[in-house]
A and B are shown apart, each in its own frame.
Chain A
Amino acid sequence: MIDLPVLAGFLAIPLALALLLAGWRMVSGPSFADRFVALDMLTGVAVGFAALTTIATGRGTFLDIALGISLINFVATAAFAVFLERKRRQK
């Protein structure tokens, strides 16, 4: 049998690498659109981290965090998109 909590703990390492890569794109992205795409990616990684933590610790509360992060992400993406278009019109 596989020990799922231990596996989840080890899988956090490649996921942390993904977090690092997306964070680098967010810092260095040449345009605003790149940063917002990186924010989308960071949300996916955060939901993945929450799922892994649920298995590693056995506490269901972390799934509620995943739901909350995905809810906030949608509102944030819509707001940033409107911000980008309005920024263009002001010029």
Chain B
Amino acid sequence: MTYLAAVLLVLGTAFLLIAAIGVVRLPDPLQRMHSSTKAGTLGATLLLLGVILASNVEELGSTSALTILFLLITLPIGAQLLARASYVSGAQLEGLEDDPLASELERSVSKPKELAEDP
């Protein structure tokens, strides 16, 4: 049981670190969101599972299980809201040649940086 908990803790930390590296390295907001919501949720969930296995008290297990459940329910909803908002607010997206959402959602045009800074 202790070994399993240790493995889960190491895996969870590794996933969170990979997610943070992805947030820094990937080129546009949607890809960064892909890294932070999937790998980040998995990392936090693995760490909380490790707490469940490491602790013998039942109260800790129920709180961790509740937190895991809550993370798994709310993070996809939050990511969907944020993705829609970042599309609508006109963040620069990589590889967006023909845009299937163009007829559905109004999108503000993002300017290049030099133009945006000039008054």
Q: A residues engaging B (CB < 8 A)? A: 1-2, 4, 7-8, 11, 14-15, 17-19, 21-22, 24-25, 30-34, 36-38, 40-41, 44-45, 47-48, 51-52, 54-55, 60, 63-64, 66-67, 70-71, 73-74, 77-78, 80-82, 84-85, 87-88, 91
Contact = CB atoms under 8 A, between A and B. Distances in A.
Among all A-B residue pairs, the 3 with the closest Cβ atoms: A33-B86, A44-B40, A18-B20
* Chain B contact surface mostly: helix
B16 to A, nearest CB: 5
A88 B74 contact: no
* Chain A contact surface mostly: helix
Contacts of A8: 9
B49 to A, nearest CB: 9
A34 B3 contact: no
Nearest to A60: B60
Contacts of B79: 40
B70 A77 contact: no
Given A31-B91, A37-B33, A85-B85, A51 B51 contact: yes
A66 B91 CA distance: 31
29 contacts: A2-B3, A7-B10, A11-B10, A15-B13, A17-B20, A21-B23, A22-B23, A31-B29, A31-B92, A33-B91, A34-B29, A37-B82, A41-B23, A41-B36, A47-B71, A48-B13, A48-B16, A51-B44, A51-B51, A54-B60, A63-B60, A64-B63, A67-B67, A71-B70, A77-B78, A81-B78, A85-B84, A88-B106, A88-B108
